[in-house]
């Protein structure tokens, strides 16, 4: 058999398979409002990740993604970078000492240095993001071989990705929790291998970031 024709046939089959497979994602957003909101041009928001859990911590990259999206586009909001805020407020917002409830924030604001720093940043809202992405339901196998005529990988794999994140919005001016937004993005990822593995990854975390940031922006601006 002509090796070139053989591999050309495999490549054609791979292209046909990829055309049939699309890594798609579905995203749902739920909002629970507990108070009125609004923000002035000289006020800011800081988005922080919860990291007190023993089995996981909210990824800094996701928190940064939400903050970046909120600070861009139409009705952009001034967002203070997480690490800049934490460094300036050391040690009050480190994982072991960060306030877990609004009454803890009220106690912190009684400290002159904390109140002064908040005022310097112009913080109106603190957004606490808590969540993670997990991979489940892995199926399929892929094997790779090397021989005299060349090598390659053959097989098929699939799995489900789920990204679930909650965002709690604290109003620093009233020291209250004004609402919670939940975003859940799920998607099926594929890894077909005909000579070369070609991953088709469901972008659940990116979709969750975009939808959560959009909803937070609308929530903070209010009616």
Per-residue pLDDT tens over the stretch 150-200: 677 778 888 899 999 999 999 999 999 999 999 999 998 888 777 677 778
What average pLDDT does this structure show over 100-128? 96
> In the predicted model, what is the mean pLDDT of the chain?
87
Q: Let me know: does 206 contact 22? Beta carbons within 8 Å.
A: no
Helices 102-109 + 112-121 axis angle, to 10: 100
What's the pLDDT at 149? 66
**Quick one: which H or E segment has residue 218?**
helix 204-221
Question: Could you tell me the CATH number of the domain that includes residue 172?
Answer: 3.30.160
18 pLDDT above the threshold of 70: no
Start-to-end C-alpha separation, the chain:
70
Least confident of 23-37, 111-125, 174-188, 207-221: 23-37
Please tell me the distance from the alpha carbon of residue 118 to that of residue 9, in angstroms, as a whole number. Answer: 64
Domain assignment present for residue 6? The answer is no
* Structure token pair of residue 205: 């975390």
Helix (H, G, I), strand (E, B), or coil: what is residue 21? coil
Please tell me the distance from the alpha carbon of residue 63 to that of residue 83, in angstroms, as a whole number. Answer: 10
DSSP β-bridge partners for residue 202: none
What's the pLDDT at 12? 43
Domain assignment present for residue 211? The answer is yes
Q: Let me know: does 208 contact 27? Beta carbons within 8 Å.
A: yes
What's the pLDDT at 223? 67
Strand order, beta sheet including 44-49? 25-33, 176-197, 150-171, 123-147, 44-49, 79-80
Q: Report the percent of the chain where pLDDT is more than 70.
A: 87
Provide φ and ψ at 78, rounded to 5°.
Answer: -75, 115
Q: Let me know: does 142 contact 154? Beta carbons within 8 Å.
A: yes
Per residue in 70-107, pLDDT (tens digit) is 999 988 999 999 999 999 999 999 988 999 999 999 99
What's the pLDDT at 143? 81
User: Does 91 sit behind a cis peptide bond, omega within 30 degrees of 0 on the bond before it?
Assistant: yes
Residue 15 — pLDDT band, cuts 50, 70, 90?
very low
Domain assignment present for residue 2? The answer is no
Please tell me the distance from the alpha carbon of residue 40 to that of residue 45, in angstroms, as a whole number. Answer: 11
What's the pLDDT at 7? 42
Pairing of β 79-80 and β 25-33: unpaired
Domain assignment present for residue 65? The answer is yes
What's the pLDDT at 1? 47
Q: Is the dihedral of CA 122, 48, 51, 175 positive or negative?
A: positive
Identity of the highest mean pLDDT range in 5-19, 51-65, 87-101, 144-158? 87-101
Residue 23 — pLDDT band, cuts 50, 70, 90?
low
CA-only gyration radius of the chain, Å: 23
Domain assignment present for residue 42? The answer is yes
Domain count, the chain: 1
Number of neighbouring beta carbons within 10 Å of residue 188: 18
| Boundaries of domain holding 118 | 26-221
What's the pLDDT at 202? 83
């Amino acid at each position: 058999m002509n090796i070139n024709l053989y591999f050309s046939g495999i490549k054609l089959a791979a292209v046909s398979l990829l055309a049939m497979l699309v890594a798609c994602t579905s995203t749902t957003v739920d909002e629970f409002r507990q108070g009125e909101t609004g923000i002035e041009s000289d006020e800011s928001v800081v988005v922080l990740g919860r990291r007190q859990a023993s089995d996981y911590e909210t990824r800094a990259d996701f928190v940064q993604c939400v903050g970046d999206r909120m600070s861009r586009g139409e009705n952009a909001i001034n967002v203070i970078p997480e690490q800049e805020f934490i460094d300036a407020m050391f040690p009050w917002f480190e994982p072991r000492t960060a306030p877990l409830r609004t009454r803890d924030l009220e106690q912190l604001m009684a400290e002159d240095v904390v109140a002064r720093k908040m005022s310097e940043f112009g913080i109106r809202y603190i957004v606490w993001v808590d969540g993670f992405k997990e991979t489940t339901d892995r199926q399929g196998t892929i094997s790779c071989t090397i021989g005299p005529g060349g090598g390659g990988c053959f097989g098929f794999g699939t799995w489900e990705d789920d990204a679930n994140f909650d965002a709690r919005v604290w109003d620093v001016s009233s020291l209250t929790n004004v609402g919670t937004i939940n975003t859940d993005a799920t998607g099926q990822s594929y890894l077909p291998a005909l000579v070369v593995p070609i991953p088709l990854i469901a972008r659940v975390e990116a979709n969750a970031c975009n939808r959560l940031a959009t909803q937070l922006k609308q929530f903070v601006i209010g009616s």
